[in-house]
Amino acid sequence: MIKSNQKPFNARLAYTLLGISLIIIILYVGQHLIFPLLLALLLSILLRPIVSFLCNKWRFPHVIAAAVAVLLCILFLSGIVFFISWQVGDIANDWVKIKSNVDIHFHNIQVWIKLKFNLSLKEQNIYIKEATERSINKNSSMMGNTLNSFTDALVSMVIIPIYTFLFLIYRVLLINFLSKLFKAEHQHTLFDILLNVKIAIRSFLVGLLTEMLIVASLTSLGYFIIGAQYALLLGVITGILNLIPYVGITLAGLLSIIATLTGSTDLSMVLGVLIVNIVVQFLDNNFLVPLVVSSKVKVNALVSLVGILAGGAIAGVAGMFLAIPIIAILKVIFDRIDFLEPWGYLMGDNLPKTSNWGKIKLPSFNAGDEIVHKTSLDQSKKDENGEKENNIPNKS
């Protein structure tokens, strides 16, 4: 563990908070450069076993093995994009039917508003027309931002594979660079951090991809059973959005409800979609996440949620996806630096006990109270013993 010079607590706290603030500011200001680099770094960690396999088993040169690994990743992602585009094309062929269903639902909503709020259809249409005109005026000013975002996305799609390839090529160079930054007595801690970061991130990404496939399969199967249209597409979208913890599954449920309403006039189908999403989310949270997603990333839910929201505020969807890996890397580093270890503990999920609810094991969130209580008792006993020793008269 790297130990720092003993400084007063307020100075160490100030330095730590200043460092965290600087990290957030740097991420926000340099997001267009930093986040593609971070995504490429995660992909390079994920693809490294493929490169090692090609080099050791098939005797590929390192450069060619790295290029093949990146190409396989591009083909996999392109296959997902092609499948979604193909399914969206089928939806476009049903545009007349979709428009008819939307008109029916819209008319039913207007009738309900008329009955509940005594607002005629003509008055509703006037309000909708005014709101549409205001929205068009606002959207005209947002076209430039949308075009810039689309351009940034295209640039990232091109540059991230290049970054990934270069990370795979210059991996040893980067490790040697980091080793030269630290003294000899800190080399063991440095390589311990690098090893644990690699294991945690690779296990997390592999578990996340496995979870994505299982969630997509279960959701598609559930939608097929209830007879929902576009079941396969909605299942795949749910699996992809589930890569964003907490937030993704909610967005996927809303998209599924909207797609169901446009594909059918039967409102009972919405109830079926909700039941499928609730069941899949229950299975995901209670079985898939503990069993499939790696336990190496032990970050508690509070820090995860705050990190996801902060990542979304800084860099949108990319920030939300990268939030937990970044937090996991920071936790590995904090756990091995003396004055940052309390922050690593705060980020962790160190719950020593579980409570049973039927056949389901749930974390006992008050388990730490026993530790705090025991520590308080021990401190009280020490204070009492100290007072007794002070009250003993000096015989000499």
Q: Give the per-residue pLDDT at 357.
A: 61
Joined together, the tokens standing for residue 301 give 């839910």
pLDDT of residue 265: 67
Which pLDDT belongs to residue 203? 85
pLDDT in tens, the chain (396 residues): 665 556 787 887 888 789 888 988 998 888 888 989 999 999 999 999 999 999 999 999 999 999 999 999 999 999 988 988 888 777 777 777 777 777 787 788 888 888 888 888 888 888 888 777 776 655 555 444 544 555 666 777 889 999 999 999 999 999 999 999 988 888 888 899 999 888 888 888 888 888 899 999 999 999 999 888 888 888 999 999 888 776 777 888 888 888 777 766 677 788 888 899 899 988 887 777 777 664 556 788 788 888 888 888 888 878 888 888 888 888 888 888 887 888 888 888 765 555 566 555 555 555 445 444 455 455 555 555 555 555 555 544
Rounded to whole angstroms, the maximal C-alpha distance in the chain is 104
Short-list 243, 222, 238, 305, CA closest to 84: 238
Q: Which residues contact 117 (CB under 8 A, 6 or more apart)?
A: none
Cα gap 119→74, rounded to integer Å? 54
- pLDDT at residue 351, rounded to an integer: 57
Tell which residue, 259, 219, 217, 330, has the closest CA to residue 102.
Answer: 259
Angle at 53 between CA 48 and CA 55, to 5 degrees: 95
Which among 293, 285, 139, 288 has a CA at the least distance from the CA of 204? 293
pLDDT at 396: 41
Is 24 within 8 Å of 314 (Cβ atoms)? Answer: yes
pLDDT for 85 equals: 85
How buried is 51 (Cβ within 10 angstroms: 0-12 exposed, 13-18 middle, 19+ buried)? buried
Dihedrals phi, psi of 47, to nearest 5 degrees: -90, -10
- Amino acid letter, 229: Q
Q: What are phi and psi of 357, to 5 degrees?
A: -120, 90
206, with CB counted inside 10 A (0-12, 13-18, 19+), is middle
Residues present in the chain in total: 396
For 193, residues 6+ apart whose C-beta sits below 8 A from its C-beta are: 332, 333, 336
Residue with tokens 């979208």: 237
